[in-house]
A and B are shown apart, each in its own frame.
Chain A
């Protein structure tokens, strides 16, 4: 049933966007997590999205070919390779011998725009799901 598929698709969109919101929250929370070495410093994390297809459904029933797309999934979370910010803070408890502290490469402005974009996309998926629910409920009243 094509309408039932909408729930799966919108659900996958919602979970993907919530992963994105989660990584944004993690990045913002750790934006000021200082460290004394480059390797230990927190790096901004970004989820990578990819479209999913359920090819298995094509084998038996050709009529589901048209909606063989099955939403979106998070392929993985990558760490940003933007340069870290070394700051000269000799009195910082985490300062190394030269007096430097490394701060994460989190761009707060970028994270904020990402957060707005993710929450808007989440909202759209919720709306799609609500709409599909109305359509299904309407169909259930057929013939009454």
Chain B
């Protein structure tokens, strides 16, 4: 009876991957805080979660009704959650980065990352305990 890591670790691995990706997007917003016409971006957790949950019935999958039909791999699945932020006070140079907002989101995201990490770590600890059988 093999251990299925996908089942054992649950959603935490994907959550961590999402948080890491989001950290780089928010870091990019903060790096471009003075770039004219730069539009702040962010990822939506709900969209990413929905994409993950519907992974079996992909929304844009093409039907293959013939042997020579190729499987179409859409890029949308990974990009689905990447959106543009609506600024509260847009700047006159076309930049929509609001430093305080991005900063707060970045901190929130890194705390969420820690949460996911702790949960994932406890999964590993659980597995270890089960293997030892003490």
Contacts and interface: CB of A to CB of B under 8 A. Distances in A.
Contacts of B107: 131
B25 interface: yes
A contact patch SS: helix
Contacts of B41: 69
Contacts, number: 111
Contacts of A116: none
Nearest to B128: A143
Contacts of B30: 10, 13, 124-125, 128
B33 A121 contact: yes
B61 to A, nearest CB: 15
A142 B124 CA distance: 8
Interface string A1-45: 111011001101100110010000000000000000000000000
A65 B110 contact: no
Contacts of B79: 65-66
Given A65-B78, A121-B34, A135-B23, A71 B110 contact: no
Contacts of B34: 16-17, 20, 49, 117-118, 121
Interface of B: 16-17, 20-21, 23-28, 30-36, 38, 41, 43, 73, 75, 78-79, 81-82, 99, 103, 106-107, 110, 113-114, 117, 120-121, 124, 128
